[in-house]
Structure 1
Amino acid sequence: MSRNYHAVTAEYNALYNGGIAFEAGKQQLAQTYKDNFWEILPVERIDLAEDDFGAPGVGPQENENFTRAEEKAAKAIQKHSVYVKGKEYNPQIDEAYILLGKARYFDKRFIPAIDAFNFILNKYPTSNNINRAKVWKAKTNIRLNSEDVALENLQKILDQEDDDISKEDLADVTAIMAQAYIKLDSLEEALPYIKIASENVKDNELKGRYAYIKGQLYNRLGFKDSANLAFDEVIELNRKSPRIYMINAYIAKAKNFDYEKGDKTLFLELLTDLAENRENRPYLDKIYNQIGEYYLNAKPVDTAIAFYNRSIKNYKGDKYLQAVNYTTLGEINFDRRAYKVAGAYYDSTLTQLEQGTREYRRVTKKRENLDDVIKYEDIALLHDSILRFVNMTEAQQLAYFTEYTSKLKAEAVEDSIANAEKQEAIQNNEFYKKEIGSKEEKEAKGGTFYFYNPTTVAYGKQQFQQIWGNRKLEDNWRRSDKQSSGINEESTDAVVAISDNEKFDPQAYISKIPTDEKVIDSLKKDRDFAYYQLGLIYKEKFKEYDLAVNRLEKLLTFNPEERLVLPAKYNLYKISTIREDNLMASKYKNDILNNHPDSRYAEILRNPNTQLASDESSPEFKYKELYKDFEASKYQKVITESDNYITIYTGTDMVPKFELLKATAIARKEGFEAYKKALNYVSLNYPNSEEGKQAQRIYSAVLPTLENKEFVAPAETDSWKVVYSFTPQESELANEVRMKIDSAITKLNYRDLKVSLDYYSPENQLVVVHGLDTQLGGRGFAQVLRERKEYKIERPFFEIATPNYKIIQLHKNLDAYLESIRPEEEETEPQK
């Protein structure tokens, strides 16, 4: 009786309530889980984070129903177990352990779950739940990335006699094995198991899910006909299975449609019926996207655009689908060469994708490639239009803007008349009359006093201004000689306002056309450079050779600067060789050889196989030589020569290198602020080059740490220097002093000291003694050099802390530092 009591109480009390909580938890999990139909669906609807591997008693408690189920299972075990002499006499305890393990599993505490399933396998070898425990243990091992162990154990179950395993257990085993193979990316091995699972499972929700997964696997393996048959199984289930499976099965079949051999009319009718079915409203984003894809393949591209936009407007939470819509619209505009619009769509795409994913990086790269083309197309368009007006005669300018402003006036008057008619219609409206009636009417109807209601007062003021305009507070304000009223009066008011508005005055536009030759010349240079850059971008990045030829040939018609002429011709020659246009190639080759025989490009054409990287005419060689000058502190020469080479090698990959070298030389010569401007220029003008990116990193991360000009207090540092200053005319003397100090360091055995000759500015170079520990030590060493007859360095000097020396070199504020230490200098006799 005791055993039966415990069995019945455990089954119909603790386990019954635990089972109800467990099923409620599963239902809640299914409702909150969102399947990603862009990937192969998992067999189970469970969302896992990377750190969801719980230890015993530890783990995220996300669903209180699973916690309750676990508590009930534990209660059944603790209160109703009848374990005597190594044998359990309560047949419900193995059910309790199954519930305990399942609750922990869905609570994402997989290690404690395995403990529960192992208890059944070890303690209840004759239980009728052995297969279930093995299946759930295998599921848990897959979640712990132990697929090989799971597959080995599940295969042992399948190897049993057919009578030993039920259809339900067979469906579970094969479904889990399919999931393991999918995780191992062995799709061919997964396919037969998911087929068995879909044939044997009884639950219609799982039947639809398994059939859909089967179709996905066939698709991945390239068997579209078999995939369509699997999707048909899902569709035939109709309302027996969740509708989301059926809709996605239709969409998956549509993606497999053969546009060459299939019946397009019937296919479009099917998609249209899906869109018009009221039950499919939650899935209109998917359906409209597929209709857009149909029209994109059938070639009415404008209709496709309309449906992609409909899909965007019917957004139902599928971010990846939104990204697909935006990307497709971006591609369409890119193919139409509407690069600015394409860039906007790519920007929208990035907002829908997770950062760091492969798709995000791919779209980012596309968007970055469009930055330059959008920038230079805008410059070319704007400057072309301005220069077109500049080249007009005064009479042509006046005629053009007179016609333009006349159209604006006509539109303004028309809008004004329409507005007046609208106001008249409002005033004649019964509702309006009811709301804005007389005081007596309002009071008769029990309404409030008009002027006590701020809403009606504000509305009345608005209506008055729209009908009468801004009238002065004076007698006879309604007279016609003051201002007209009604519809005709409204249009007259508009005409009066138009006559005073410079928006409608041709001279206002003409006055903005530049006349200064410097401004016009600057516009031409910017326009020409934009056309040149566009030619290179279309040639190198997009392989749009027609567009590249158009921009470069148009550039040559502008009579541009000499620095752009030769590179433009050379790039036209290169394009013609790529397109195998021999006539055009000969034209530009002969042009370069005849008109620019001494140029580097002519040398390349004469000797195409020459390795010019080591030739003295190559930009690489020039850069190396210039870098040697930089190391020799010839900063002015580096700046000047860099400017020359930037002009000569415009359009090559070496230009950003020269720009960055020039910026670094500017830093050494002119200091922090000049360096900041130079870096900003490099980062903005060459954003896609490695040098431009490096300049941006320095500008954003390094410069803010160097901006402080405040000198540190002497007590805050234990590193000092002694400095002697010389003018450029005293270079020989400076070098002589440096050599004397070097000799003194060696002879006097000052091992930690060293001396250098540093550049400070075009007017100053510094001999600096490094490695001193204190200010007084530095002063003492300088006095030794002054007093010892073999050195006799009587040159004025000053001590400076190492951090302050860095500041004066960076900010070129030596005078400020000397001013700050002047009182101390005046007390130092040797420095007078």
Structure 2
Amino acid sequence: MSKAYHNLTAHYNAYFIAQDQLRQAEITLYKNRKENYNQILPVLLPVDSITNEPVKPFLDEAIKKASLVAERHQNSKWLDDAYIVIGKARLLKQDLPNAIEVFKYVNTKGTNEDDKHTALVNLMRAYVEAGDYNNGLNVAEYLRVQPLSKDNTRDYYLTKAYLHQRKGEPAVAAAILDATFPLLKKEESTARLHLIAGQLYDLAGQTAKAYEHYADVLRNRPAYEQEFYANIYLIQGSGGKNRLGQSFEQMLSDRKNADLKDKVYYTMGLLEARRGRYDEAISLYRQSVAATTTNTAQVPYTYLEMGKLYFEKKGDFVNAQMYYDSALALLPQQSADYASIQTRKKSLDEYVSYRNTIRTEDSLQQLARLSPEALTQALNKAMQEQDKRDAQQAELARQVIEKATGTPTVAGVSQPGATNSNLSPNDRWYLYNPVRITQGLQDFTSTWGNRPLEDDWRRSNKDASRAMAAENSPVNGGTPANEINPNAPLPTRADALNAAAGNPTVGGTAVGSRANGVGSRLEAMKAQLPLTPAALAQSNGRIENALYRLGKLYKFQFNQPTDAISTFEQLLTRYPNTLQKPEVYYLLSVSNDQLGRTSTWKDKLLAEFPNTSYARLAGKIAAGNGAAVSSGAEAQAQKLYADVYYLYQTGNLTEGLARAETALNQFAGSQIEDKFALLRAMLIGRVQGTEPYRQALADFIRDYPASTLIPHVKELQTAADQATAKRK
């Protein structure tokens, strides 16, 4: 009777309620999931503490009720089941260490084999969520030979497929899913898994199998979005129509797809890109962005594909930079390729910066070479063109506002009661454009963080800043900003417009005539020109640095050796005495070798700069292509190193440095080459001073990244930097 009481009470007063709470949490999570069809869907919904926050009360209640079984009914047959509920709830709460301990406990102390297998399947899931794939595979290997129940077999296959998907093995994950489908019913969750299997086979390059699974989605009672994307993939895979004869054009005309047209255009663009028709693909991508309504999730992936086409296929790095910038502003930071996109975007930002520097400085130098009369005429013409462009932009803004609101504007301000019309996103007013709102919010958050709506939100001491602003305001006798008072009122929009028109004002009050305004603008533009020898030297220095860094970008970041060669050759032509000449010679030699061309750059490097690290690097490459350093040569190198080190100790520094330079060239590729390089750096410090010493240490780290001496060299760098800072 006692055992029957505990079984009955544990079942219906604790376990049954706990299991129901856990099931409610799982159902809620599945219904509220947000699928990103631009990426491969996860086989199992990933555990995320933020996403799972709404179901936390269910999980807490499940743990509370299931714990009653362990506290009051330890002799009941529901004890193992209660512990499994506790483990699952902790898993969903992302309390992975405790979840793992619970599942291990059930496997060790459990009395029912099916319950122990269930615990092990969930233990494998916990290891996957923790990123411990090795332990997950060990558990999977053990379960593989166990006689599992039908439910445990299904969960085992799904968890193992999820494990291999997370490991980046799409073909294995898809094959395991294939073994799972006979155990599943025809329902929405099964349709979702068929869609995932199709995506995985697509990624693995097995398009025929992918096509079959996309067709199976339609046979398993899919949700509308699942059906839509399955049809999209079927049309994309067949090159124009799916099995039902449906085409992209029919999907676009279907009223049910009004909010999904952006995805249709995007997929059409992908198909055109695969066919090599890049301009048509870009046009379709633009249509995709224009078709965006309230759901902007597709936009960053469309921008990303446009950026890839401009970067990889068209070599248009300026447009690529713009689209990568827009994509990164809207892309979720948890995206798998976010870091790589951010790296490429940074390189493109540098490219645009260097390119603009070269063009700007060239234009300024060209203007500086004009006669005074011709210069004044050219600057006046530039100001007139700028005023014309500003007027055109203002008129365009007025037209867009009128078109968007349906009401005329007065002085650029629309009348009350304006409503938005059915415009493309590019023509909508900012606050009616969901794409621009989302991008602006992302930009603001990335710079300033999540901040409340309040005055003076950028100031750390708001009360003090407000008091200072009030004290210096015109009402309290304050004066406009000058060298003494920096807290003057900000210029109004009218001030900005008047200044652009050549009539500067403060607070709407004119402070000069238009003639004076034009004259001040003219003088301001002349001040930017390199009219003096010193200014010209600075301008040339900026161009030289931009060409040098642009060439390195082409070589190392963009893998464009042809562009790198032309850029470096331009650098040497314009600035034959550049301090970067040894490195440029070396990079020109390497770039030509990469293209299979013969060149004389290596010979020039060895002839003109035989004692530089780049000459030694070139010699080391040549030695690496030939025979290894013989044992006799190694012995000679050891002896010479001892001789040079003796010269260093006895103060014969100049002779020691000369012999170290010779040894580095003579014994390139030897086992003690890095020791020679470090000894040379120390000799340079004693002979030539701090700055050459710091450069030699930096060269060592670049040329010998695998050397065991690197930690010591970094310590020497730190000491040299600190000594330099103290002197300053």
Contact 1:346 1:367 in 2 (8 A): yes
What is the CA distance between 1:64 and its match in structure 2? 0.8
5 Å matches for 1:229-378?
Answer: 229-238=212-221, 241=223, 245-246=226-227, 249=230, 253=234, 257=237, 267-269=247-249, 272=252, 277=257, 290=267, 292-297=269-274, 298-299=277-278, 300-303=280-283, 306=286, 322=300, 325-326=303-304, 329=307, 332-333=310-311, 335-339=313-317, 342=320, 359=337, 362=340, 366=344, 373=351, 376-378=354-356
The answer for the alignment partner of 2:358 in structure 1 is 380
CA offsets per residue over residues 791-822 of structure 1, 9 Å max, x none?
xxxxxxxxxxxxxxxxxxxx59xxxxxxxxxx
- Give the aligned partner of residue 516 of structure 1: 532
Tell me what 2:22 maps to.
Answer: 22
One-letter amino acid matched to 1:66: A
Superposed, which structure 2 residues align to 1:654-733 within 5 Å?
Answer: none
Cα gap change, 1:345 to 1:48, in 2 (>3 Å): same
Give the aligned residue type for 1:293: L
Among candidates 157, 165, 169, match of residue 177 of structure 1 = 157
Larger radius of gyration: 1
Cα gap change, 1:538 to 1:68, in 2 (>3 Å): closer
CA contact (8 A) 1:174 1:197 kept: yes
Whole-angstrom distance in 2 between the partners of 1:420 and 1:361: 40
Deviations 1:51-93 (A, max 9, x none): xxxxxxxxx9992132134145558846xx7xxxxxxxxxxx5
Paired residues of 1:666 and 1:678 also in contact (CA < 8 A): yes
Matched residue, 1:544: 560
Cα deviation digits, residues 325-369 of structure 1 (max 9, x gap): 5476256246544546645766777786879x9956755665676
Q: Which of these residues, 174, 177, 187, is aligned with residue 204 of structure 1?
A: 187
Distance in 2, Cα, partners of 1:192 & 1:339 = 40
Contact 1:177 1:190 in 2 (8 A): no
Alignment partners' CA distance in 2, 1:280 and 1:702: 61
Could you tell me how far 1:136 is from its partner in structure 2? Answer: 1.4
Residue 393 in structure 1 maps to residue 389 in structure 2: no
Structure 1 residues 547 and 67: alpha-carbon distance in aligned structure 2, compared to 1, 3 A threshold: same
**What does 1:9-48 correspond to in 2, within 5 Å?**
13-30=13-30, 38=39, 41-42=42-43, 44-45=44-45, 47=47
C-alpha separation between the residues in 1 aligned to 2:378 and 2:679?
49
CA 41–708 in structure 1, closer or farther in 2 if over 3 Å, else same? closer
What do the CA deviations read for 1:418-471 (whole angstroms, capped 9, x no partner)?
A: 999999947999979xxxxxxxxxxxxxxxxxxxxxxxx9xxxx9x9979x99x
Aligned partner of 1:65 in structure 2 is 61
What corresponds to 1:748 in structure 2?
A: none
CA distance in 2, matches of 1:154, 1:592: 60
Q: State the distance in 2 between where 1:324 and 1:511 align.
A: 43
Q: Which residue of 1 aligns with 2:85?
A: 102
Distance 1:578 1:230, change over 3 A: closer
Using the alignment, how far apart are the partners of 2:72 and 2:375 within structure 1? 95
Q: CA offset at residue 403 of structure 1?
A: 1.9
Q: 1:142 aligns with which of 124, 134, 138?
A: 124
| Structure-2 change in CA distance of 1:395 and 1:30 (3 Å) | same
Paired positions, count: 577
- Name the amino acid aligned to 2:514: A
Contact 2:300 2:328 in 1 (8 A): no
Equivalent residue number for residue 514 of structure 2:
497
Decide whether aligned partners of structure 1 residues 428 and 599 sit closer, same or farther in structure 2, where only a CA change above 3 A counts.
closer
Whether the 8 Å contact between 1:679 and 1:696 is mirrored in structure 2 is: no
Contact 2:568-2:584 at 8 Å conserved across structures? yes
Give the match's secondary structure for 1:208.
helix
Q: What is the TM-score normalised by the length of structure 2?
A: 0.56
Residue 178 and residue 25 in structure 1: after superposition, are their counterparts in 2 closer, same or farther (change >3 A)? closer
Aligned match for 2:147, one of 157, 162, 176: 157
- Whether the 8 Å contact between 2:218 and 2:230 is mirrored in structure 1 is yes
Question: Structure 1 384/335 Cα, relative in aligned 2: closer, same or farther at 3 Å?
Answer: farther
Give the residue type in structure 1 aligned to 2:147. Answer: I
SS in 2 for 1:392: coil
What is the CA distance between 1:401 and its match in structure 2?
Answer: 1.9
Map 1:613-692; keep pairs closer than 5 Å: none
Q: Secondary structure at the match of 2:237?
A: coil
Which letter does structure 1 place at the counterpart of 2:567? R
The alpha-carbon distance between structure 1 residues 234 and 118, as it changes in their structure 2 partners (threshold 3 A), is farther
Question: Structure 1 residues 706 and 362 mapped into 2: Cα distance closer, same or farther (>3 Å)?
Answer: same
Counterparts of 1:311 and 1:629, CA distance in 2: 76
The CA distance in 2 between the partners of 1:65 and 1:192, in whole Å, is: 38
Alignment partners' CA distance in 2, 1:345 and 1:36 = 20
2:209 matched to 1:226?
yes
SS at match of 2:42: coil
Q: SS at 1:107's partner residue?
A: helix
Question: Once structures 1 and 2 are overlaid, which stretch shifts more, 344-353 or 375-384?
Answer: 344-353
Q: 1:198 to 1:261 in 2, by over 3 A?
A: closer
Q: Which amino acid aligns with 1:63?
A: L
The structural deviation recorded for 1:638 is 11
Partner of residue 133, structure 1: 115
CA–CA separation in structure 2 for the residues paired with 1:279 and 1:416: 32
- Cα displacement (A) at 1:551: 3.4
Matches for 1:777-788 after TM superposition, within 5 Å:
none
Stretches of structure 2 lacking an aligned partner (at least 5 in a row) = 50-55, 92-98, 128-134, 403-407, 418-474, 476-489, 630-636, 661-674
Deviation at 1:389, TM superposition (A): 1.8
CA shift for structure 1 position 245: 4.5
Q: Secondary structure at the match of 2:147?
A: helix
The residue that corresponds to 1:112 in the other structure is: 102
Letter in 1 for 2:360: L
**Structure 1 residues 611 and 276, CA, compared in 2 at 3 Å: closer, same or farther?**
same
How far apart, CA to CA, are the structure 1 residues paired with 2:594 and 2:120? 60
Report if the CA contact (8 A) 1:94-1:120 is conserved. Answer: no
Deviation at 1:107, TM superposition (A): 2.5
Deviation at 1:224, TM superposition (A): 1.9
Aligned counterparts of 1:596 and 1:279: Cα–Cα separation in 2: 62
- Opposite residue 47 of structure 2, the aligned amino acid is D
How far apart are 1:212 and its partner, in Å?
3.4
Distance 1:536 1:408, change over 3 A: closer
Given that residues 358 and 547 in structure 2 are in contact (C-alpha distance below 8 angstroms), is that contact kept between their aligned partners in structure 1? yes
- For residue 470 of structure 2, what is the aligned residue in structure 1? none
Q: Which amino acid aligns with 1:227?
A: A
Query: Over the residues paired in the alignment, what is the CA RMSD in angstroms?
Result: 6.7
Given candidates 528, 533, 543, the residue that maps to 1:527 is 543
CA contact (8 A) 1:295 1:301 kept: yes
The answer for the alignment partner of 1:749 in structure 2 is: none
Q: 1:759-799: per-residue Cα shift (whole Å, max 9, x none)?
A: xxxxxxxxxxxxxxxxxxxxxxxxxxxxxxxxxxxxxxxxx
Alpha carbons 2:251, 2:257 under 8 Å: kept: no
Residues 308 and 325, structure 1, Cα contact 8 Å, conserved in 2: no
Contact 1:315 1:322 in 2 (8 A): no
Compute the displacement of 1:12 (Å): 5.2
TM-aligned CA distance change 1:503 to 1:611, over 3 Å: same
Q: How far apart are the structure 2 equivalents of 1:570 and 1:366?
A: 25
Q: SS state of the match for residue 514, structure 1? A: coil
Counterpart in the other structure of 2:384: 406
Per-residue CA shift, 1:486-505, capped at 9, x if unaligned? xxxx9xx9994355333553
Distance 2:339 2:413 in 1: 61
